Each structure stands twice: as structure tokens, then as C-alpha cells.
Amino acid sequence: MSTPSSKVADGHAMSEMASAYLDALRAAGANMVIAAHVIALYLQIRDPYRFGNLGVAIFFLLSGFLIMQSMLNWLHKPEPRLPGFVADRVARIMTPYVPALILITLANVFIATNHSQGGDNTGVLTFIGNLLLLQDHAVFQGLELAGMDVAWRIRSYNSAEPFWTVAIEMWIYVSMGMFVFCVLKRERIDRWLGAALAAIALPVLIWNAAAGGGKSLTLIWLLGAIAGYLFHVWRSHGYPNIRSVGAIVAVFGTVALIGRAGKIGFHPYDFQTATLMALVMFGVLALLMCVKRVPGALRGSVNFLASYSYSLYLIHNTVLILVLEHVKTQNVWTHVAIAVIAAHVCAYLLYVAFERHYRVVGRWLRPKFERALGPRSRSQVTSAAADLVSPSAAASRQER
């Protein structure tokens, strides 16, 4: 059922169909990455259809789109805003990530697997490095470019190959949050902690604009962020001419994308290709904003598949490898079916146990991040120094 363009922005809420479309993209992105790893592991073919790259590119376009709108919404809240924004992002990323990392580490310890990417990919240092999202950091890659590849370079933990993109995404969040809230809006934070975060995050942002595993993932994320900003402004004006604009953008992007793929092949990490993909994705989104209703069965199934898509992205490669190495079948397609089903089941259990609780974790983290990131007044610094010199003074203040 369609609704007139003039009424799309009634209440300024996204239509059910548009929301289902974004969920479908999330679910499709995760399953494209699974398809790429299945083809590589079980068929011994190196992703001829670029499924893995396409899935990651979709994730980064969606991430930029949604996080930009989140930052714009945070601008309407009272200061401090950066600590709350970062706390929410940490909760969203880390709530399933930490349990997934622990499970993968235990699998490496108790079940023999060996899928080294070079450098340190097991052990305590690698575990801590992955926990702090420092795997394949820009510094390591810069040293490699300079001919100084170090033996202790931290990689994703053993079979947790997809973790490299999670680290990039988190540090892009931190970089963009600091830019929007601290640079544009002049919000003050603790200078030393802010400097430390910038020292870690900015190299990742800059390096992945021109290099890194995805060649231009920062720029792809920014494409999504630009689309998110444009939709935000468009929404404030009531989405004028949304049907015609969406159709023109989607058709133009589709024709140009087909032409470019025919000319040079389909390479989702190529920035021009990613730009055309963004035109198609967000042009279709604009068109679907005109559709008010979506069949309940379709909405429910898409929402279900999208709900655990992040957990699926995190843990699927380990499950695929474990099934490959420890479950024996005569038929390769039976083997694939067992592996894919097992990956989905394990991912859903990870979602139920951990991921779906990220909002609770975010509410718990916010006050802690506000205390840590908030600017310290001269009196606070003097008081902290006095506490270090005289613990008895601190005890007497607590008694008072």
C-alpha cells in the first residue's frame, strides 16, 4: 500500500517498509560474508563474486547512515554528549564482541584450529590487543609499508578473521564523535584522555581512507554518513518530491553501476563503485519511504534475521572452521548446510545471551564515561593530587 509523498513525513518517522529494507540489508550483508567464507573454506575458491567485500561495504554504508543520524539526534541533548555517544557505541559493539572473543579463544585453546594470518594471532598479547580493538591497527600497517613489519603485529584472534572490520568501525565512531561534538560544537572533555583517544582513533580514520584491508572503508563510511545527513535535512522539510528523487537516484546509480562493473569488473571496495552502490541503496530507501505498510510475515522474518546479524558476523567464521575440521560428511553440500545452520544457531544464542542486552549495558556505561571523559576543573585536579599525596585527607573527606 502506497502513501502520497506529501504524507511520507507525517510524524517524521521512517515507514515500516523502509525500516524493513534497512533490516534486510543488514541481514543480507552478514550472509554475504558467510557465503564468501563458505566458498573459500569448503569449495576452495577465493570469493569470485566479491560477496565478502560487498557485505562489508554494505555494513559500512549502513553504519555511516545510521550513526550520522544518531549523532544529529545527540546534538539535541544537553552536554556532555560525547561520553554518552561513545558509551552507546561501545555498548553496541562490545556487548557481543567480548563474549565472542572469549569463546573463540577457548575454542583455540581446547579445540585444535590453525588459521594464521601471520603476526601474533594467538596468546595473551593478541587477546588483549583484540579486546582493546588494536588488531591490524594503522600503526602496524604503516610500519609494514615502511618495510618494518614486526613479528608482534597483532592480528585478529585466530579464526576471528572478521574482527578486523569491527576495530576500524569503532575507531571511526570515536573519531567522528570527537569531530562533531568537540571540534564543531566545542564540547570540552578531559584533555589527556581525549588526546589518547585521538592518538589511537585518528590514524585508523586516516589510514583507512586510502589503504587498509578495505582500501577506502573510511570513505565508504563517510558516503553513508553524507546520505544520513541529507536524509535528516530532507526529513526536516517534509521529504519533498521523495518519489521522483528516489527513482532518479536509484535508476541513475543502477545504470552507472552496471556500466562500471562491465568496464572494470565489480569491486565493492573501489570508491567510485561504492558511491554508485550508495546511490542505489539510498535511492531505493527513498522510494520505500513512500510505502506505508509491509506484510507482517515479511516484517517479522526480516527483523528476526537482522536482529542477530552482528553476532552472526562475529562468530560465523569460527563455527564454519570447526565444522569443517571436526564434522565429517561424504557430501560437500551436506557439510555446507550443517556449517551454515550451526553458524546461525550459535549466532542466535550469542544474540539472546548477550547482544540484545546492549541498551542495558549502554545505560550502565554512560555515567562512567561521563566521569572519565568529562573535563576536570582545577579544583578536581588539585583534589586528586592531594589524595595521592595524603590518603588520609581523602578518607576524611569521604567521612564528611
- The model's pLDDT over 174-203, given as tens digits with 9 standing for 90+, comes to 999 999 999 999 999 999 999 999 999 999
pLDDT band at 243 (very low <50, low <70, confident <90, very high): very high
d(CA 280, CA 256): 10
Q: What are phi and psi of 27, to 5 degrees?
A: -65, -40
Identify the pLDDT of residue 115: 62
pLDDT (0 to 100) of residue 252:
98
Percent of the chain with pLDDT over 90: 68
Q: Which of 354, 358, 314 is nearest to 59 (CA)?
A: 314
pLDDT band at 31 (very low <50, low <70, confident <90, very high): very high
Average of pLDDT values for 284-300? 89
Average pLDDT over residues 10-20: 73
Q: How confident is residue 380, by pLDDT bands cut at 50, 70 and 90?
A: low
Whether 312 and 34 have beta carbons less than 8 Å apart is answered as yes
Grid cell digits, residue 202: 585518528
Whether residue 384 has pLDDT greater than 60: no
Neighbours of 101 (CB within 10 A): 21
Average of per-residue pLDDT across 138-152: 78
| Confidence (pTM) | 0.89
- pLDDT at residue 48 tops 80: no
Read off the pLDDT of each residue in 343-364 and give the average, rounded to a whole number. Answer: 97
Mean pLDDT calculated for residue range 148-159: 79
Structure confidence at residue 147 (pLDDT): 77
Say yes or no to pLDDT of 173 above 50: yes
Does residue 32 contact residue 54 with C-beta atoms inside 8 Å?
yes
Would you say residue 13 has pLDDT above 80? no
Q: For residues 318-324, give the mean pLDDT.
A: 93
- SS3 of the chain: the string is CECCHHHCCHHHCCCHHHHHHHHHHHHHHHHHHHHHHHHHHHCCCCCCCCHHHHHHHHHHHHHHHHHHHHHHHHCCCCCCCHHHHHHHHHHHHHHHHHHHHHHHHHHHHHCCCCCCCCCECCCHHHHHHHHCCCCCCHHHHHHHHCCCCCCCCECCCCCCCCHHHHHHHHHHHHHHHHHHHHHHCCCCCCHHHHHHHHHHHHHHHHHCCCCCCCCCHHHHHHHHHHHHHHHHHHHHCCCCCHHHHHHHHHHHHHHHHHHHHHHHCCCCCCHHHHHHHHHHHHHHHHHHCCECCCCHHHHHHHHHHHHCHHHHHHHHHHHHHHHHHHCCCCCHHHHHHHHHHHHHHHHHHHHHHCHHHHHHHHHHHHHHHHHHHCCCCHHHHHHHHHHHHCHHHHHHHHHC
Least confident of 61-70, 88-97, 252-261, 287-296: 287-296
pLDDT of residue 305: 95
Residue 246 makes CB contacts below 8 A (sequence gap 6+) with 283, 284, 285, 286, 287, 289, 290
CA distance 52 to 320: 15
In this prediction, residue 72 carries a pLDDT of 94
Q: Residue 390's pLDDT band (boundaries 50, 70, 90)?
A: low
Within 8 A by CB and 6+ apart from 82, the residues are: 177, 178, 181, 182, 187, 189, 373
**pLDDT reported for residue 396:** 44
Residue 215: pLDDT over 50: yes
The yes-or-no verdict on residue 379 having pLDDT over 60 is no
Is residue 248 pLDDT above 80, yes or no? yes
Q: Mean pLDDT across the stretch 212-225?
A: 94
Q: Is the pLDDT of residue 3 over 70?
A: no
Grid coordinates in use for 140?
Answer: 602496524
pLDDT average, residue stretch 78-105: 95
pLDDT of residue 109: 81
At 121 the pLDDT is 80
Calpha distance 110→104 (Å, rounded): 10
For the chain, the first-to-last Cα distance in angstroms comes to 66
Query: What does the mean pLDDT of the chain come to?
Result: 87
